[in-house]
A and B are shown apart, each in its own frame.
Chain A
Amino acid sequence: MFDEKSILNTIENGILIVDPDLKIIFWNRWLALQTGISRQEAEGRLLSDLFPETGFNLLKRKVKIALKLGSSTFTSSSVEKYIIPIKLQQITKSTFNHMRQEVVISPLSEERASIIIYDNTALLEAKAVIDENLQIMEKQATTDTLTGCYNRKMFNDLLSAEVKKADRHSKIFSLIIFDIDNFKSVNDTYGHLAGDDVLIEIGGLTKAIIRQSDYFARWGGEEFAVLLPETTLQGAALLAEKIRAGIMSHRFAEIGNLTCSFGVAQFVPDEAKDTLISNADWALYHAKNNGKNQVAVFENSEIRTWYRPDSH
């Protein structure tokens, strides 16, 4: 023969029975071990007396609801963190100070509810690690590791989304593609590490010039692209010129001065994403062949030079 209630003391979860004021009627062994408060000390006292620092409004409400509903209520460790404060020992090297708890409150009679406490700390710690890794992976999947701007795949996705938006809500947007002039000779003369530094610096310069709403990506080896939502061709060309001037006046460590060439195009409703890219590409090609260090735009199926420093 055994006392069925003694099972409650063998379970590795916290179990307590309370009345609506949260006076403790029963306090199991697990709780005694975790809190250092013995059964004799706990039973007959208010939960708020045992833990004066802790607010119990939520638990009180949950008990009230469970008694009224006649069915269980719950608290979630992802929202409430804990119900009964149990300090975690430092040896566990947890990221949390307190045990994270998932709690089920069930009505036993009109004036009594049971509270079962599950330790969710390990689960949430694992989840935190996974979430963090997922974030890193997501970042890696969308950014160019060298320059920290978006990679080509992400830029393509952003471009597709912008095309959809433009078609659906008749929004306009423009695209800039630019390329470092004579980059091959930088690599050949100063080495690839110096070349990498140039790419990083140009990335930084461009980011400082573009607006918050623009998207900036490394398009290929020494090629970059900027997507400018709600921007006309003129607006985009002006911004391209700003970037061009910014890069031209910058002194790169080791190498000195560098220039870039720019192709700009505005999205034409109903055209394909690839048409926009090839239009900007075509303008860029024109800028290169026309003497580099300049901005060329694609407009009405024609290319024209927007700005060339020596033309003034």
Chain B
Amino acid sequence: MIQEELPEELQEVLGELINIAFGSATATIADLFDNFATLHVPAISFVALDELDTFIFQDFNLQDVYTTTQQFKGRFQGEVVFAMDRHSARNMQRIIFADEGPGSQEILDDDELKQSILEISNILGSSCIGKLAELLGTNVTFAPPSIEFADTLTQERRALSYRHIIVISTVLDFKDMEVAGKLFIMFTDEMFNWLHTALNNYLENI
């Protein structure tokens, strides 16, 4: 049986687990770059692959979106895609490169921008997925991430059998600087069912 959607109480469980995972990701970033972020509850939604583009582009301008993608493997496996616009990427870049010597904040070259995007997606992906897996009693390994552009996102994924996508709208609310993005966790029917069971177990064994 394919679960089209998680029952509400399990969505709540997932929501809180992602809240915890995102908290640890934020702390990693804030502590690493000696910054502080006001934590917000990440908004979570479920979308089908067909709706993904609409979902991404209602908030982003197509020309402006960077996406990175990273596969994770283990008993819980799938792919995590992180999308952010240029404005947020620039802010992330300023935060990362703030402590790398005088003037470095002004070097806004493209490679540095891409590095920043890879960095934040690596951290968010690893801590969110890693922590989520840990909370659900398993662990995962990650393949190297790659950076791409969003207009091909759906097209390329269509060939794969990802039927379920959890969208986490993330905001890293640093002082005077906001880094907003969307984290898409994509998985198959089989993994969706695994998640369903794992969340159930979690709830029963609190």
Contact = CB atoms under 8 A, between A and B. Distances in A.
A and B touch in the complex (CB under 8 A): yes
A171 to B, nearest CB: 18
Interface string A47-88: 000000000011001001100111111111011100000000
A interface majority secondary structure: mixed
Contact of B147 (A68, A79, A104): A79
Contacts of B118: 74-76, 79
In this complex, the interface size class of chain A, counting residues with CB under 8 Å from chain B, is 10 to 19
B144 interface: yes
B119 A76 contact: no
A102 interface: yes
B114 A79 contact: yes
A66 to B, nearest CB: 9
Interface stretch (B120-128, B159-167, B180-188): B120-128
Interface residues of B, number: 21
Interface string B102-126: 0000000001001100110011001
Nearest to A72: B142
Contacts of B31: 68
B96 A61 contact: yes
A76 B146 contact: yes
B144 A65 contact: no
Contacts of A69: 28, 123, 126-127, 130
A145 to B, nearest CB: 29
B147 A65 contact: no
Contact of B28 (A58, A68, A80): A68
Nearest to A71: B126
Contacts of B119: 61, 65, 73
B132 to A, nearest CB: 13
